[in-house]
Amino acid sequence: MADKPSYLNFDKAAYHWRPDTDYRANPEEYRVGKGEQGVLICEPYKSEIGQYWRFKTVEIAEKSSEKIYRLFLDYIAQKDFVGADMARKFLQMGFTRAGRYANYKGGKKYDAGNNYQQLDRGTGDEEKARAAQVFYKLYKQAEAQPAYQAMKVEWKKARG
């Protein structure tokens, strides 16, 4: 099943992030997780940040990633680790999703109508590859930000 999408075997009950939790009011419920986990669930951050997340063109990706990075810095200044981590995840997701569209036409990696066979790579959009790099630069900058790194170490030590 390694060549199939992971969402086919998704165990919703075991997933830590809950859409009915307000993670600003209940930050103790937040877990860093791996990669982008929880990014499309954790409110109110999903709505605050997600409204700016776009990567259709390089110009749009530049505006989007810069706005999200400014939000990231604002969350750091407010000592809001959950917000900062969610902004970092949106930057990472800008890189990975734009990359998916760069590699696969229409962003579709699997053919649902053909037993989820993986589609041919290299059929995507070159503009999306450049947009992915725009997000990658600020994602890496966010990850390397010393205040964020310190907050993340403390958070993981205290909460996981």
Q: Is residue 136 part of a domain?
A: yes
Contact 58, 133 (CB under 8 A): no
User: Residue 1's pLDDT is what?
Assistant: 41
Domain encompassing residue 75: 6-159
**Total domains in the fold of the chain:** 1
Mean pLDDT of the chain: 88
Write the DSSP string, 93-152. Answer: HHHHHHHHHHHSGGG--EEGGGTTEEPPSS-S-HHHHHHHHHHHHHHHHHHH-HHHHHHH
Query: What share of the chain has pLDDT > 70, as a percent?
Result: 88
Indicate the range of 4-8, 19-23, 111-115, 147-151 predicted with least confidence. 4-8
Contact 145, 101 (CB under 8 A): no
pTM for the structure as a whole? 0.86
Provide the Cα torsion 147, 150, 151, 154; round to 10°: -170
Cα-only R_g, the chain: 17
Contact 45, 24 (CB under 8 A): yes
Determine the average pLDDT of the residues in 68-91.
Answer: 98
Q: Is residue 35 part of a domain?
A: yes
Separation CA 96–CA 158 (nearest Å): 29
Contact 38, 16 (CB under 8 A): yes
Give backbone dihedrals phi and psi of 111, rounded to 5 degrees, phi first.
-100, 100
Q: Is residue 1 part of a domain?
A: no
Q: Is residue 49 part of a domain?
A: yes
Separation CA 152–CA 80 (nearest Å): 11
